[in-house]
Amino acid sequence: MNVPDVSRIIDVMKAKSYKVFENSSGYDLNLVGIRSTDTRANTFNDWVTVFYRFDGTWIGFAFPATTDPGTYYRENPMNVRGTAIMKPGQYRGAYKVGRHRGYKALQQKGPVTVFRDMDLNETIDTTGTKEDTGLYAVNIHKANAYRPSVQVGKWSAGCQVVQDPDHFAFLLKLCGNGADRYGNSFTYTLLEEVDFL
């Protein structure tokens, strides 16, 4: 899946009546994940994007990522109700710069909705599954700390995970700038590839 440009992402968000942060003084961040229709396990085939407006111009970046769990946690859920798969939607103020397993990351601080996949196989199942809404440590973080990861593996049990640690460091720097100006609270929007067809 090729990443859509910022204007296309904004069009889709507005069509869904989602909030787009448009303050033109910079770092009023829009954090948007885009889930591929290809749901093969263990692949970084999704995107985590960030964009903001500065002096009337949109500035955006896109990072290869996964928005769904790796094979290990699809087959071995951490929760008895099933593996967490974030439901597409907009989660206002749900994240802050905080910690994930001891290192700086975007930590869930507000409720998100997840599907609970109980099939215990490598295929994602969101049709007819139960939904949960709450705080489940569904964070936004990096995979390997030293190099881009090849497979998702155990890096995600439902979190949104950026493949390259350098990309993630850059994302956190932008979030730090945003937190300094607007407070440590970020909205995350999860879209799907089908939204752009």
Helices (H), the chain: 6-15, 71-75, 165-182
* pLDDT tens profile 162-180: 999 999 999 999 999 999 9
Q: What is the DSSP letter of 133?
A: E
- Output the six-digit token pair for 143: 């995979």
- Output the six-digit token pair for 94: 């749900």
| Residue 75, burial from CB neighbour count under 10 angstroms (0-12, 13-18, 19+) | middle
Quote the percentage of the chain above a pLDDT of 70.
Answer: 99
HSE, CB side, 13 Å, CA atoms: give it for residue 190.
Answer: 23
Residue, of 41 and 73, whose pLDDT is higher: 73
| Residue 14: count of CB within 10 angstroms of its CB | 11
- The full set of domain ranges for the chain reads 6-196
Q: What's the pLDDT at 110? A: 98
Q: What's the pLDDT at 82? A: 87
Pairing state between β 140-142 and 160-162: parallel
The answer to whether residues 155 and 143 touch, using CB atoms and an 8 Å cutoff, is yes
pLDDT at residue 125 tops 80 = no
pLDDT at residue 38 tops 90 = no
- Whole-angstrom distance, CA of residue 42 vs CA of residue 74: 10
* pLDDT tens profile 42-74: 899 999 999 999 999 999 999 999 999 998 998
* pTM for this model (two decimals): 0.95
pLDDT at residue 39 tops 80 = no
- Whole-angstrom distance, CA of residue 35 vs CA of residue 156: 14
Quote the percentage of the chain above a pLDDT of 90.
Answer: 83
pLDDT at residue 158 tops 90 = yes
